[in-house]
Structure 1
Amino acid sequence: MSNSVNIMAVVEGTTEQFFIRDILAPYLWPKEIFITPVIVTKPGQKGGDVKFSRVKNDIEKYLKQRRDTYLTLFIDYYGIKSDWPGLSEAKLKNNPEEKAEQINQATLGEIEELWPRCRPAMRFIPYIAMHEFEALLFSNSTILAQKLNVQTSCVDSILNECGGPENIDDSPQTAPSKRLESLSPRFKKTTTGIAIAKEIGVPAIRGRCPIFNEWLTKLESLA
């Protein structure tokens, strides 16, 4: 009898899909954890416009599809819309850890209320990335600077200003992706971003991003 764990991951867009498929999944394979990313159903739209009313349909589908699998989310805080559970309360919190905890718990609570028979308390692990996927790329300033062909001090100044990768905020001007684009206009999240993340590696990202690490620790605990 196999003790392997199967996880479906509902993700915001192509970048998150590639990150899980090409970087996170191979990292988890030795632990007998197999994670499969699926992009949230958004006909005619790209990432960055994520409504809970749409995402919950996918959550329901995958919770009901196979009762022997687990389900997680990989959604950027920067992209979620006002209908997301816990968002208004999260905006009142003072740090990213509290924001993420507020939204993740509210999301789980909403799903438990909607589909209790699917056992979401045991099978569903939401993850709202603070403040978006690109924040993870700041986990190693040397590698990031080399890949963008800029001075390491340019990256370090952003980290010193904000206090860490997951503290880089979510305004339209200073979100992680906007800061990367300002450092290098050639930055493309689905190519450059994935290449940078792969070179940095999951262990280094875990070491600098406690919210990401907490999520990954929960996934590992399923095995």
Structure 2
Amino acid sequence: MVRLYLFAEGQTEQTLADISIKPHLAQYEVFMHNPILIAHARKKGKVHRGGGRKYVPMKEDIMRFLKQEKAPDVFFTTMIDLYAIHPDFPGLAESESIGQDPLQRVEFLEQRFAEDIGDHRFIPYIQLHEYEAYLFSDPTCFEYLDAGRTKEIEALQDIASQYPTPELINDGQQTAPSKRIIAQFPDYGKAKSVFGPHLAEQIGLQVIRSKCSHFDKWLSRLESLNGEGII
């Protein structure tokens, strides 16, 4: 068996990891600690967590855990957004030259992230483009919020049908996945961290994986860690 630390950007990711990913990985003898909100600042010796994207506090947070947990059977991963990522993120300027392929860009940034941390036990994951993209894997999940909103669900289904994968839904600040959802279901925006994970739970990891290849690749990597933890 191996242990895993997951650093989440916000409470939505933290809750999804806790209620869905954590029990799933336990089946593969990969035991996740309670997901941690990643640091966004450190002031007067106190670490402030969640809601921030500045790279230096994130890196320092991860490095502290790496130093505390030196065993080869302990791994570390992240769940942060590409959407609105901070300009100080390693490789961000270089990634602009990759062009219009978000998947290649995010994989490049993950590679640079891993190189900057410099520990083979660290497995970075950056969401394409943000958490809410997963919910477009099956928009009927929004019946959980209001079963009578057929037209709104159909509108989200229409958006999803325009993309080869929900992970590519992002056209700008006002048309990112979360913005599109809130346009149809305003209540979602009032309690994203509560509704988001439970909507994903309604869909199920297998459906999300079948529609979101980048997410599936990351989860498959985590499932395989038990074989890597014995060195």
- When the two structures are superposed, what TM-score results if normalisation uses the length of structure 2? 0.85
How far, CA to CA, are the matches of 1:154 and 1:145 in structure 2? 13
1:138 aligns with 2:133: no
Q: 8 Å contact 2:163–2:169 — kept in the other structure?
A: yes
CA distance in 2, matches of 1:197, 1:191: 11
The residue number in structure 1 matching 2:82 is 77
Residue matched to 2:21: 24
- Greater shift, 156-165 or 128-137, is seen at 156-165
Given the alignment, which residue of 193, 216, 219 partners 2:222?
219
Give me the whole-angstrom Cα distance separating, in 1, the residues matched to 2:141 and 2:175: 21
Matched, 1:50 2:48: no
SS in 1 for 2:94: helix
Tell me the distance in 2 between the aligned counterparts of 1:89 and 1:162: 26
- Going from structure 1 to structure 2, the CA distance change for 1:144 and 1:96 (only over 3 Å counts) comes to farther
Q: Deviations over 1:140-166 (max 9, x none)?
A: 122235645343421122113333210
Letter of the 2:5 partner, please give it: M
Pairwise CA distance, 1:100? 1.5
Matched, 1:7 2:16: no
Per the TM alignment, residue 217 of structure 1 is displaced from its structure 2 partner at its CA by 1.0
* Preserved CA contact (<8 Å) 1:138 1:144: no
Q: 1:101 aligns with which of 93, 99, 107?
A: 107
Structure 1 residue 81: deviation in Å?
0.2
- The 1-side partners of 2:68 and 2:168 are apart by 36
CA contact (8 A) 2:5 2:75 kept: yes
Q: Which moved more, 1:25-34 or 1:160-169?
A: 160-169
Counting aligned pairs with the same residue, the percent is 36
Q: Check conservation: 1:75, 1:127, Cα contact below 8 A.
A: yes
Deviates further, 89-98 or 5-14: 89-98
- For 2:173, the aligned partner's letter is P
- Aligned partner of 1:186 in structure 2 is 187
Indicate the residue corresponding to 2:160 in structure 1.
159
- Cα contact 2:5–2:77 (8 A) shared by 1: yes
Following the alignment from structure 2 to structure 1, what is the Cα–Cα distance between the partners of residues 171 and 19? 26
Gaps of 5+ in 1: 113-119
Q: Please say if residues 100 and 211 of structure 1, whose CA atoms lie closer than 8 Å, have aligned partners that are also in contact.
A: no
Q: How has the CA–CA distance of structure 1 residues 146 and 39 changed in structure 2, closer, same or farther, with 3 Å as cutoff?
A: closer
Once residues 46 and 125 of structure 1 are traced to their aligned partners in structure 2, the CA distance between those partners, rounded to angstroms, is: 20
What amino acid is the match of 2:122? Answer: F
TM-score normalised by L of structure 1: 0.88
1:191 shift after superposition: 1.4
Query: Structure 1 residue 89 and structure 2 residue 94: aligned?
Result: yes
Of 31, 34, 43, the match for 1:34: 31
Counterpart CA distance in 2 for 1:203 and 1:172 is 29
